[in-house]
Structure 1
Amino acid sequence: MTSSTTSATPAPEPLEPPPAVPGSVRKPPSAASLARQRRKASAVRFWKQYRTHRAGLYGLAGLVLIALLALAAPLLVGADVQSVTAAPGTALESPSTEFPLGTDQFGRSLLGLLIWGARISLLVGLLAAALSVAIGTLVGIVAGHYGGWFSTVVMRITDWFLVMPALVLAIVLATVMSRSMWTVVLAIGVTSWPTTARLVRAQTIAVESRPYIERATALGGGHRHVMTRHVLPNVMPLVLAQTTLGISTAILTEATLAFLGLGDPTVVSWGGMLQDAREAGAVSSGHWWYLAPPGIAIALVALAFTLCGRAVESVLNPKLGVGR
């Protein structure tokens, strides 16, 4: 009797999780969250590939150092370094312990001017390159998307800007308009966009030949939707690489305009320092310390941006086979 009762006793069932409370149901990740995760994963992959380019790392390290010096300029040298009346030294002193790079014709420290001038040169280069790439991207996407006679007309205008010397057009604009930093940015930006426009147009045509563009159009996607949601994200890697490469050109153009006396006379830039050295007769008098620092700084920054641009371009488009 006892054994039968014991055998009839059912075995304990495994514990089941408590029923889910309606308010605590785990929701699937939103589209914005998924997009953030994809961007984060893409950034991690980009950095892993970028680290394999030694030259790109050298360029990035140089740019970080120069950017930190430019940002810390008010703390390192102070705004008084630009003042002509409060100059601490005498005119055209050679390098010494007090003035490691010597002084200019007003007795100002060239080291302080070099650090302070990095702010203007980098800012003008970044803004001018951003304006140029923005114009080129807009023109390229619109021309590649609509096609037909409209694209032909836009590309002929682009070709006219492309064959015209950009420096000459920038000089004309800087001469006609008032002398200021924003004039230099505008002059560089509106004359250096054709190369980006042609590259983006070619990429736009390639993207719009893919099947998902036809599906988006068939589902009711308009021109704006196709260009902003499908074409623009696919051309952004090309735009990023072109921006990085264009900054060095913009910095060199700004230095050239300032050297020709077309820059903003109220601010200190590396090109303006070269123009001041020319006016002071540093070439004929042998004051090499007046010419060498800003010239070397311009060359190093241009080289650093070029190295970074080539590395970015190689990562985003491995088919280019850019050397590491």
Structure 2
Amino acid sequence: MLPETGSRRWRRCRWAVTAATFGLTALLGPNALGATVAEPQTWIDEPIIGPWTPATTRDEPTSRWREPAPPDIDSLYFPHFTGPEFNRLFSTAALPNLSSISNAPTIIDAAGLDDRIRAEAVKRGYRRRPLPADNAQLRLIGEGLALQRPAASAWLALRADAAEHGFALVLRSAYRGHQHQRRVFLRPLQAPYVFGDLAERLKLSAPPGYSKHHTGYAIDIGQAGYSNFGQTPAYEWLSADNFANAKRHGWIPSYPPDGGQQGPVPEPWEFTYVGVEAILCFHQPPAADDPLCND
């Protein structure tokens, strides 16, 4: 990235965040990133787990800038990220309403085998993920589907933007607690469990305690009428120009194709919310003359 003056960077940050809020159109690149694994053909129901009911009210996406964008600004510039940078971006984003990471939950109720699976998961690139600090702050998005407040608003904005471009996005999965993730991880297997089968399962699913869905900031999406999201027009639109259209609403690929050892094989259908400001400021150190990236 070429050096920028403080005022130029300030204008870029301000206009980009404002444009994300007001829905300006990003320029599409000629090539889209492809999928490397077939999407599952079946999805389990996603019940809300816990003695609480998420609110249905929505919050507007938040930004420090609320000014209308200048009329001659008809595209956005977002920094490009490598796969490992996308992964660091989610892990380092200052996302609200997350708890401290506690002891890892059980996988199959066998301490020795659980420890082996956790060690294998870490070797594959999985990381322990926090749960929401306050489940009551989640927002109900669909029947049995909930997200953190800023992610809920950002999902609705992304879905509306996609619809304006002719793509019908469908939310397949959102927040998952530890017990729910355990069922997801074990559903194709049968007891008595053996290490080889559990280790093979890690290629496609996180064990409980290691899923980004635990945070309430991860979604699995599809396009109506298609079974393999990585081969859909909607994915081509989202992933073009290093996922520019996803970034406009604060979303990034959860497991990018070039992410290296990151847990499962790349999943084109999973995206994580980090917020537009985190995306714009990832490569920029705090600066006193930058009103966006100075925290």
Give the helix-richer structure, 1 or 2: 1
Establish whether TM, by shorter chain, passes 0.5.
Answer: no
TM-score if structure 2 supplies the norm length?
0.26
Give the strand-richer structure, 1 or 2: 2
Which structure's relative contact order is higher, taking Cα pairs within 8 Å and 6+ residues apart? Answer: 2
